[in-house]
Structure formats: structure tokens, C-alpha cells
């Protein structure tokens, strides 16, 4: 098992996720960003909401990062002469600016990601402790360590500003 991340790492990684979230604004997508860190602690993949950009209801930041991370892991293993099914993202860490929804929490569990760091809570659709707690549901076959509230005010402000502009 790899290292347990420290708080300073969480703050830094959330900065990378916030940069991805800001990129989503260019396509009028809700500004949510994600960074998937590999077992070595380096960035394996990034993602941002692309539902508007792609016309894909599943193109949430977490799903985009998980898909890209699985592909990167497969390529890395092939380059090293090994094999990887690509879908087991064991010992990776997912950092996301908003608490994952039920769909994303399910994808996290199914991809075997052991750690999730997130910024703002989602009181309407969150599935990492607010509305549901899929990531720590003991009846499932995989449980996730959750580190909530990292740079929470910054993450929440980005979303608040976006919705104020689009509703006002």
C-alpha cells in the first residue's frame, strides 16, 4: 500500500483540480474539476465537467478522469512490458472540487480507487456523506477513504458564482 497523503498534498492537489474546474467554464460546463493521482503520487489523469461540450450526461469530471486514468495506466503497463486490465485504479487518489454524485461514487467504487479528496459538499446530490454515503457503504465490496472540505470555500465560490451568472 502506498503513502497516505498529507494535508499539504491535499491543498496542492485541489489547486490542480480547481484549475481543471476553471477550464470547464470555457465550454459553459459547470465548473467541477478532478485530478487522478497514480500510485507514485504523480498526476495520472485530469478531468472536468464536459456534459455541455460533449453532449454526454455521464461526462462528469470524475468519470472523465477515471476513463483517462485507466487508459494511461494501460499504456504505462504496456510500455513497461507488463499487462494491466486498466480498470483497477488501486492505490490511486482522486481529487475533485465537489463531493461526488451517486453515479461518480459508483464509478469510484467499481474502479477500486481507495482515496477521494474533495472540496465543497453537495447537499443536493452528494454521495460521499451528505445525501448518500456510497463511498463508505459497508455492504459494497470496496470502501474508500474520504478527505472532505479541502479548500472548500474556494471550490464552493466557483460554483456559486457560476450559478449566479447563469440564473441571474
| Binding-site residues | 60, 101, 104
6/168 Cα distance (integer angstroms): 39
111/131 Cα distance (integer angstroms): 22
Q: Which residues are catalytic?
A: 62
Q: How far is CA 141 from the centre of its chain?
A: 20
Q: Which residues are annotated as a binding site for Zn(2+)?
A: 60, 101, 104
167/95 Cα distance (integer angstroms): 28
Amino acid at each position: 500500500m502506498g503513502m497516505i497523503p498529507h494535508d499539504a498534498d491535499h491543498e496542492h492537489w485541489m489547486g490542480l483540480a480547481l484549475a481543471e474546474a476553471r477550464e470547464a467554464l470555457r465550454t459553459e460546463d459547470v465548473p467541477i474539476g478532478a485530478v487522478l493521482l497514480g500510485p507514485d503520487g504523480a498526476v495520472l489523469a485530469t478531468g472536468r465537467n464536459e456534459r455541455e461540450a460533449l453532449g454526454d450526461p455521464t461526462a462528469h469530471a470524475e468519470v472523465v478522469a477515471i476513463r483517462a486514468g485507466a487508459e494511461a495506466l494501460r499504456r504505462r503497463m504496456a510500455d513497461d512490458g507488463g499487462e494491466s486490465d486498466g480498470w483497477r485504479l488501486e492505490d490511486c487518489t482522486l481529487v475533485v472540487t465537489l463531493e461526488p454524485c451517486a453515479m461518480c461514487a459508483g464509478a469510484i467504487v467499481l474502479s477500486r480507487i481507495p482515496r477521494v479528496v474533495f472540496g465543497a459538499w453537495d447537499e443536493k446530490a452528494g454521495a460521499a456523506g451528505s445525501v448518500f454515503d456510497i463511498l463508505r457503504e459497508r455492504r459494497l465490496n470496496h470502501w474508500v477513504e474520504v478527505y472532505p472540505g479541502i479548500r472548500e470555500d474556494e471550490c464552493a465560490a466557483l460554483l456559486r458564482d457560476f450559478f449566479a451568472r447563469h440564473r441571474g
